[in-house]
């Protein structure tokens, strides 16, 4: 790129890309490990940035591609590019008419936006990088360019302050230009045409990853995503197609399911006209009759549903609740709580091996079963009828804490259904107890406070008004563990309070007091001083509210940086001239897996480089409704410079 040595104070106008000396303008020899040509001098970073403004397009494209090369796995260079004002120039080149120029600029921005230096992302945002990327996306017609654009947006979406910028400027473009056209879903299916299939999987993965991140920002972002025409429909179509192809562990499925899980967060409150689905608490008195009435029929009183002396299943009608009949197919956000999506989560729970997918599926079920709303009641019943309770209970034995916590939260909300409570009490109590700290039969994992509290709350929900479950708890060393948590002095206040509530519920069963006393337990072991707020917490009904969002900076399980994924070289001899500038990631990675604890599953290597993906923010979980949060896409590997 540099024809000859020049004084350092003249680097900005050094003779560039002289046609008669084209071999010197290429980095091919360096990329191949051969000796550099005579008189070769590697350009300094200020020189490369200056070349971005050179009048020859070939020089601009070479400079942009070389910046992409320099920024690959080099955080210092990324910072220096920002300090040297290179980012605004690169953003400006996104509107350049020639593909080799705007592709190189976008590749450089993708690498600059990758990593933990948030200032780089902010710098791209501040010079209107998101609208520029969207303009380029709407013009892109090939997978190479679209993949780099969507990958850059995925990287940017991991920063909180950029999420709404992407929602406001890029949501419809990503949906209309990427998700819908390449998902295979059609707004008006033509029966005479062959069914369409998923295309451009890597691009869809980037896009779903970007939307997955922005969906965690705030209710306004989720509202816009839910109401974006065709988005939810296409996402569900994608996951169904992947399951149908026996590919339920792909990164595309993970991003789509995590996005659907976020869109199900507080869905019973945030959808339009949510009040039409709300149900009154079962213990609220109604002056008009013995049972409150609703548009879906009379509700059973609390004593009928949760009677100790009578099994709730004696009424066959209690064991089956069917979804209401529809006069037209569900569309858009209504699909989030229809049988179709419930069956998707059940399939993934039974077939997937990827921890992040299992966690997201259980978390979505937890969200849909939270709150006193009509579809929550339907879904609790549907999961029992589809025999999914055992699949969720099996997750309690997972070696991944996040999966265990998600399963525990889902079981807690499912146990609000009286029949579910009975089944969960019979089959899940042993594994719930095993995951508690202490005792002879303890999990090998040292679970965090939040997970332990979640398990304790689930146990309390299951044994309330359920004598058989309380007996099962006693038989599985549960009392020993609860008393140990309460009196050991080395557990947190939240854990002690949660364990105390379970102990109070146990002692409330007169039938268990004599057996407990025979085993050596005393009344004082079950009497714990709790404040009024803790004591008044309902033991047989979920809390319809959710906790405040966890601050992103307070997470203790931050993941370390991971290696980036190399992408194919530009200018490959196997490609046509039009594709010489491609940064297409030819990595056959649709089967790779990544769990949220940072452990990698099976993956295919590429040219000896580990195939990994960076994950930024950790997932965010609530007590009853849960969100899953941010991660980034990839960097692109250094391209081969185009000879000029």
**Which pLDDT value is given to residue 403?**
95
Q: Is 640 in contact with 27 (CB distance < 8 Å)?
A: yes
Residue 271 corresponds to which tokens in the numbers above?
Answer: 């959808």
Cα angle 231-233-234, degrees, rounded to a multiple of 5: 65
Q: What is the pLDDT confidence band of residue 56, given thresholds at 50, 70 and 90?
A: very high
Point out which residues pair with 297 in neighbouring strands: 294
**Which pLDDT value is given to residue 590?**
37
Q: What is the pLDDT confidence band of residue 401, given thresholds at 50, 70 and 90?
A: very high
Q: How far is CA 260 from the centre of its chain?
A: 9
Q: What is the pLDDT confidence band of residue 639, given thresholds at 50, 70 and 90?
A: low
Q: Is 370 in contact with 268 (CB distance < 8 Å)?
A: yes
* Helix residue spans in 52-117 (DSSP H): 57-71, 75-83, 86-93, 99-112
DSSP letter (8 states) at residue 297: E
Q: Is 435 in contact with 455 (CB distance < 8 Å)?
A: yes
Lowest mean pLDDT among 189-198, 234-243, 610-619: 610-619
**What are the C-alpha distances in Å from 607 to residues 171, 240, 486, 572, 604?**
35, 33, 55, 15, 10
Backbone angles phi, psi at 16, to 5 degrees: -115, 140
Distance (Å, whole) CA 252 – CA 238:
8
Using the CB atoms, write b or e for 126-150: b if 16+ within 10 Å: ebbbbbbbbbbbeebeebbbbbbbb
Longest dimension (CA), the chain: 99
Average pLDDT over residues 464-472: 89
Answer with the residue of higher pLDDT: 564 or 204.
204
Whether the pLDDT of residue 150 is over 60: the answer is yes
Q: CB 332: neighbour CB atoms within 10 A?
A: 15
pLDDT single digits (tens) 511-570: 888 888 888 887 777 876 655 434 444 444 554 433 333 233 334 343 333 223 223 333
Mind listing the domains of the chain with CATH numbers? 42-159 (1.25.10.10), 178-276+328-386 (1.25.10.10), 396-440+447-529 (1.25.10.10)
Q: Is 163 in contact with 221 (CB distance < 8 Å)?
A: yes
Backbone angles phi, psi at 374, to 5 degrees: -55, -50
Lowest mean pLDDT among 30-34, 156-160, 209-213, 329-333: 30-34
Distance (Å, whole) CA 590 – CA 354:
13
Place of tokens 């196997």: 574
Q: Is 17 in contact with 25 (CB distance < 8 Å)?
A: yes
**Which pLDDT value is given to residue 185?**
85
pTM of the model: 0.76
**What are the C-alpha distances in Å from 424 to residues 5, 12, 389, 407, 502?**
77, 72, 7, 12, 16
Q: Which of 334, 331, 208, 323 is nearest to 274 (CA)?
A: 334
Lowest mean pLDDT among 124-138, 477-491, 616-630: 616-630
Distance (Å, whole) CA 139 – CA 407:
44
What is the average pLDDT score of the chain?
A: 75
**What are the C-alpha distances in Å from 398 to residues 403, 431, 443, 444?**
7, 10, 10, 11
Distance (Å, whole) CA 425 – CA 463:
7
Whether the pLDDT of residue 305 is over 60: the answer is no
Average pLDDT over residues 286-294: 38
Which positions ≥6 away from 386 have C-beta within 8 Å? Answer: 342, 343, 346
**Which pLDDT value is given to residue 443?**
58
> Which of the listed ranges 432-436, 593-597, 610-614, 620-624 does the model predict with the highest average pLDDT?
432-436
> Which of the listed ranges 120-129, 421-430, 480-489, 497-506 does the model predict with the highest average pLDDT?
120-129
**Which pLDDT value is given to residue 325?**
78
Average pLDDT over residues 309-332: 61
Q: What is the pLDDT confidence band of residue 362, given thresholds at 50, 70 and 90?
A: very high
Q: Which of 264, 335, 355 is nearest to 624 (CA)?
A: 264
Average pLDDT over residues 626-643: 61
Q: H/E element holding 148?
A: helix 143-156
Average pLDDT over residues 392-406: 93
Distance (Å, whole) CA 264 – CA 237:
17
**Which pLDDT value is given to residue 512?**
85
> Which of the listed ranges 125-134, 459-468, 545-554 does the model predict with the highest average pLDDT?
125-134
Q: CB 267: neighbour CB atoms within 10 A?
A: 25
Q: Is 267 in contact with 336 (CB distance < 8 Å)?
A: yes
Distance (Å, whole) CA 237 – CA 341:
10
Lowest mean pLDDT among 277-281, 384-388, 489-493: 277-281
SS3 label, residue 293: strand
Whether the pLDDT of residue 440 is over 80: the answer is no
Reduced to 3 DSSP states, what percent helix, strand and coil does the chain have, rounded to the nearest 5?
A: 55, 0, 45
Backbone angles phi, psi at 311, to 5 degrees: -70, 135
pLDDT single digits (tens) 99-119: 999 999 999 999 999 988 899
Q: Is 360 in contact with 344 (CB distance < 8 Å)?
A: no
Percent of the chain at pLDDT exceeding 70: 68
Q: What is the pLDDT confidence band of residue 87, given thresholds at 50, 70 and 90?
A: very high
Distance (Å, whole) CA 78 – CA 108:
9
Point out which residues pair with 609 in neighbouring strands: 606
HEC assignment per residue over 205-245: HHHHHHHHHHCCCCHHHHHHHHCCCCHHHHHHHHHHHHHHC
Which positions ≥6 away from 640 have C-beta within 8 Å? Answer: 26, 27, 28, 31, 569, 570, 571, 572
**Which pLDDT value is given to residue 630?**
66
pLDDT single digits (tens) 369-385: 998 888 888 999 999 98
SS3 label, residue 16: strand
- By residue count, the chain amounts to 644
**With the C-alpha atoms ordered 438, 440, 443, 446, is the resulting torsion angle positive or negative?**
positive
Burial class (CB in 10 A: 0-12, 13-18, 19+), 635: buried
Q: Is 632 in contact with 155 (CB distance < 8 Å)?
A: yes
């Amino acid at each position: 790129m540099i024809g000859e040595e020049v004084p350092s104070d003249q680097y900005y106008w050094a003779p560039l890309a002289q046609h008669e000396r084209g071999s010197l303008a290429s980095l091919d020899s360096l990329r191949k490990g051969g000796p550099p040509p005579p008189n070769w001098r590697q350009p300094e970073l200020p020189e490369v940035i200056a070349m971005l403004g050179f009048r020859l397009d070939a020089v601009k494209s070479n400079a942009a591609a070389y910046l992409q090369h320099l920024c690959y796995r080099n955080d210092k260079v990324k910072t220096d590019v920002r300090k040297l004002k290179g980012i605004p120039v690169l953003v400006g080149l996104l509107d350049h008419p020639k593909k080799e120029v705007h592709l190189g600029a976008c590749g450089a921005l993708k690498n600059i936006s990758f990593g933990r230096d948030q200032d780089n992302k902010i710098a791209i945002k501040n010079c209107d990088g998101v609208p520029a990327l969207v303009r380029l996306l709407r013009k892109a017609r090939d997978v190479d360019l679209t993949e780099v654009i969507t990958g850059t947006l995925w990287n940017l979406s991991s920063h909180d302050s950029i999420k709404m910028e992407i929602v406001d400027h890029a949501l419809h473009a990503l949906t209309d230009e990427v998700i819908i056209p390449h998902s295979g879903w059609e707004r008006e299916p033509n029966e005479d045409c062959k069914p369409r299939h998923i295309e451009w999987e890597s691009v869809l993965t980037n896009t779903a990853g970007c939307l997955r991140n922005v969906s965690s920002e705030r209710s306004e972002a989720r509202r816009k995503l839910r109401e974006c025409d065709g988005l939810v429909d296409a996402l569900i179509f994608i996951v169904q197609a992947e399951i149908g192809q026996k590919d339920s562990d792909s990164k595309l499925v993970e991003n789509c399911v995590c996005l659907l899980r976020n869109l199900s967060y507080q869905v019973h409150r945030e959808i339009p006209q949510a009040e039409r689905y709300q149900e009154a608490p079962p213990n609220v008195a109604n002056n008009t009759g013995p049972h409150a009435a609703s548009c879906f029929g009379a509700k059973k009183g609390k004593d009928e549903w949760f009677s100790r002396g009578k099994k709730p299943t004696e009424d066959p009608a209690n064991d089956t609740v069917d979804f209401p009949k529809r006069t037209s197919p569900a569309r858009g956000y209504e699909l989030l709580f229809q049988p179709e999506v419930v069956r998707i989560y059940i399939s993934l729970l039974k077939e997937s091996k990827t921890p992040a997918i299992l966690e997201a599926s259980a978390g979505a079920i937890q969200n849909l079963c939270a709150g006193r709303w009509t579809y929550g009641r339907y879904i609790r019943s549907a999961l029992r009828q589809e025999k999914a309770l055992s699949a969720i209970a099996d997750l309690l034995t997972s070696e991944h804490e996040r999966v265990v916590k998600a399963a525990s939260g889902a079981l807690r909300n499912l146990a609000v259904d009286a029949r579910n409570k009975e089944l969960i009490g019979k089959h899940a109590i042993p594994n719930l107890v095993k995951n508690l700290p202490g005792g002879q039969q303890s999990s090998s994992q040292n679970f965090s406070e939040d997970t332990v509290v979640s398990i304790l709350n689930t146990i309390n929900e299951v044994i309330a008004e359920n004598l058989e479950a309380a007996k099962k708890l006693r038989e599985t060393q549960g009392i020993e563990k609860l008393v140990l948590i309460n009196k050991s002095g080395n557990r947190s206040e939240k854990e002690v309070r949660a364990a105390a509530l379970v102990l109070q519920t146990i002692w409330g069963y007169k039938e268990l007091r004599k057996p407990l006393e025979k085993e050596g337990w005393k009344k004082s072991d079950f009497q714990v001083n709790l404040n009024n707020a803790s004591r008044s917490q309902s033991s047989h009904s979920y809390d319809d509210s959710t906790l405040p969002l966890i601050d992103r900076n307070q997470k203790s399980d931050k993941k370390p940086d991971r290696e980036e994924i190399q992408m194919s070289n530009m200018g490959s001899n196997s490609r046509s001239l039009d594709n010489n500038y491609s940064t297409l990631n030819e990595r056959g990675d649709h089967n790779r897996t990544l769990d949220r604890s940072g452990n990698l599953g099976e993956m295919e290597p590429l040219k000896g480089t580990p195939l990994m993906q960076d994950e930024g923010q950790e997932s965010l979980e609530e007590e009853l409704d849960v969100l899953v949060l941010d991660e980034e896409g990839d960097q692109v590997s250094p391209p081969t410079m185009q000879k000029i």
